[in-house]
């Protein structure tokens, strides 16, 4: 996992940042103390910011468990996941009972934005979106619809677009994860802060020995192709339903908006070809597509989310994109 993270960081220049009091302040959360993570322990940051880390567990008597109340209004619980013994923590959800953290968080740890992936990062978990004063009603609506949003901000600066390596911005990613409480699945809002350097962040994944990048930067098809080529890759080729299902589920976990793939008929109208040069052995056009509506030469996924099925769109649109290695 750590090795995978190191590779992701190297290739995509995403750096997981500890969620410090300063970065909390930057996202406008009320009641944040300026105490550094080293001075903080459970209950010691302040009444509205509680840190749970390995040292909190070390203070427990043998056999004792730590109970963390996620239902408390106005309280943000910060989990420093590194070295945390989930088996010794109970998460309490008010009327809805409690669950061992190890059981409750199992789905979270298999989520693409798992804190285990973000080793060294720190997550904020709250059972109640109302505990996030930085989120406006529109943000919540977007979260509800997309189940994840990214907000960009720089400290003191106007809301910034990620620029170059020298001009990194902090980005707080909010997302819902499903955790299991007393056998039922409940959505919990989470946030973590990453440093985004460069205009695009890409999540690297591997499937059937091919590497894939799920890139969040919104690029024209040409620029997306060039960005893949710069990594020695092509825009994704979908060879069969199995590969499509895998790509679709990961892409949709990042964003249910549209994504570019490699299929296009730029060279000759109606003759679709993959960016990788692979033969077109499989297609899954949505009924009525490709319709070349107003000149559309580039293939994309998720136009009809949550339904599967591909669409053609104008290549000049700026969309997220997926790269794939040839081996
Ligand atoms: C949009 C655009 C097209 C697609 C149609 C389907 C109106 O155009 O996404 O590419 O074919 O929707 O209705
Ligand atoms: Ca179309």
Q: Mind listing the pLDDT tens digit for each residue in 63-78?
A: 889 888 777 666 667 7
Residue 281 and residue 138 in one domain: no
Q: Mind listing the pLDDT tens digit for each residue in 4-40?
A: 322 222 222 222 222 222 222 222 221 112 222 332 3
**Distant-in-sequence, close-in-space partners of 244: CB < 8 Å, separation ≥ 6:** 238, 282, 284, 308
Residues 90, 92, 113, 237, CA torsion sign: positive
Q: For residue 71, is it within any domain?
A: yes
Triad 10, 14, 19: Cα angle to 5°: 130
Query: Which numbered atom of ligand 1 lies nearest the CA of 296?
Result: 10
The average confidence (pLDDT) of the chain is 70
Which has more pLDDT, 132 or 117?
132
Query: Which numbered atom of ligand 1 lies nearest the CA of 291?
Result: 11
Query: Which numbered atom of ligand 1 lies nearest the CA of 303?
Result: 9
Shortest-distance Cα residue to atom 7 of ligand 1? 293
Domain boundary residue, one of 177, 195, 213: 195
Q: For residue 271, is it within any domain?
A: yes
Average pLDDT over residues 40-50: 45
Minimum-distance ligand to the CA of 265? 2
Q: For residue 155, is it within any domain?
A: yes
Domain boundary residue, one of 138, 167, 195: 195
295 within ligand 1 shell (Cβ under 6 A): no
Reply yes or no on whether the pLDDT at 267 is more than 70.
yes
Residue 87 and residue 144 in one domain: yes
Ligand 1 centre from 305 Cα, in Å?
13
Reply yes or no on whether the pLDDT at 261 is more than 80.
yes
297 within ligand 1 shell (Cβ under 6 A): no
Reply yes or no on whether the pLDDT at 209 is more than 50.
yes
Residue 261 and residue 292 in one domain: yes
In the block, tokens 């350097």 appear at 197
Average pLDDT over residues 288-308: 92
pLDDT band with cut points at 50, 70 and 90 for residue 97: confident
Reply yes or no on whether the pLDDT at 190 is more than 60.
yes
Helix, strand or coil, per DSSP, at residue 164: coil
Reply yes or no on whether the pLDDT at 199 is more than 80.
no
> Which CATH number belongs to the domain containing residue 236 in this structure?
3.10.100.10
Q: For residue 256, is it within any domain?
A: yes
Residue 111 and residue 215 in one domain: no
Residue 64 has what DSSP assignment?
A: -
Ligand 1 centre from 85 Cα, in Å?
50
313 within ligand 1 shell (Cβ under 6 A): yes
Q: Give whole-number Cα distances, 174 to 13, 118, 144, in Å.
A: 20, 14, 11
Average pLDDT over residues 80-106: 80
Reply yes or no on whether the pLDDT at 95 is more than 50.
yes
Q: For residue 108, is it within any domain?
A: yes
258 within ligand 1 shell (Cβ under 6 A): no
Minimum-distance ligand to the CA of 319? 1
Shortest-distance Cα residue to atom 2 of ligand 1? 313
Q: Mind listing the pLDDT tens digit for each residue in 277-286?
A: 999 999 999 9
Q: How many domains does the chain have?
A: 2
Residue 34 and residue 126 in one domain: yes
Phi/psi at 9 (5° precision): -65, -40
Ligand 2 centre from 214 Cα, in Å?
22
Ligand 2 centre from 258 Cα, in Å?
12
Ligand 2 centre from 48 Cα, in Å?
50
Nearest Cα to Cα of residue 65 among 100, 89, 93? 89
Helix, strand or coil, per DSSP, at residue 106: helix
Question: Could you list the residue range(s) of the whole structural domain that residue 149 is in?
Answer: 21-195
Shortest-distance Cα residue to atom 10 of ligand 1? 313
Residue 26 and residue 170 in one domain: yes
% of the chain exceeding 70 in pLDDT: 55
Ligand 2 centre from 233 Cα, in Å?
25
- Ion ligand 2 nearby residues (CB, 5 A): 291, 293, 296, 311-312
Point out the least confidently predicted range of 163-167, 216-220, 268-272, 291-295. 163-167
Q: For residue 17, list its beta bridge partners.
A: none
Ligand 1 centre from 29 Cα, in Å?
40
Residue 213 and residue 191 in one domain: no
193 within ligand 1 shell (Cβ under 6 A): no
Which has more pLDDT, 90 or 188?
90
Distance (Å, whole) CA 303 – CA 308:
9
Ligand 2 centre from 290 Cα, in Å?
5
């Amino acid at each position: 996992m750590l090795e995978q993270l190191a590779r992701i960081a190297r290739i995509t220049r995403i750096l997981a940042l500890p969620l410090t009091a300063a970065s909390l302040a930057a996202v406008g959360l009320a009641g944040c103390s300026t105490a550094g993570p080293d001075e903080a322990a459970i209950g010691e940051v302040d009444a509205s910011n509680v840190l749970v880390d390995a040292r909190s567990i070390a203070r427990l008597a043998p056999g004792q468990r730590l109970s963390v109340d996620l239902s408390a209004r106005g309280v943000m619980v910060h989990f420093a996941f590194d070295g945390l013994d989930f088996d010794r923590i109970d998460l309490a959800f008010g009327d809805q009972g409690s669950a061992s953290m190890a059981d409750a968080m199992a789905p979270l740890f298999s989520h693409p934005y798992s804190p285990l992936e973000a080793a060294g990062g720190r997550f904020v978990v709250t059972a109640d979106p109302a505990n996030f004063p930085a989120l406006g009603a529109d943000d919540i609506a977007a979260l509800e619809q997309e189940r994840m949003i990214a907000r960009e901000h720089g400290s003191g600066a106007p809301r910034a677009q990620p620029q170059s390596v020298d001009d990194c911005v902090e980005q707080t990613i909010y997302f819902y994860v499903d955790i299991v409480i007393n056998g039922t699945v409940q959505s919990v809002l989470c946030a973590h802060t990453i440093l985004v350097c460069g205009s695009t962040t890409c999540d690297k994944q591997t499937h059937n020995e091919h590497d894939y990048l799920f890139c969040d930067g919104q690029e024209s098809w040409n620029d997306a192709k060039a960005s893949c080529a710069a990594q020695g890759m092509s825009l994704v080729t979908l060879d069969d339903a199995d590969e499509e299902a895998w790509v679709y589920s990961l892409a949709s976990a990042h964003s249910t908006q549209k994504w570019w793939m490699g299929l296009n008929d730029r060279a000759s109208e109606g003759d679709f070809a993959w960016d990788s040069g692979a033969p077109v052995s499989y297609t899954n056009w949505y009924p009525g597509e490709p319709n070349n509506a107003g000149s559309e030469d580039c293939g994309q996924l998720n136009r009809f989310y949550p339904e599967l099925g591909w669409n053609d769109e104008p290549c000049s649109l700026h969309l997220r994109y997926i790269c794939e290695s040839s081996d």
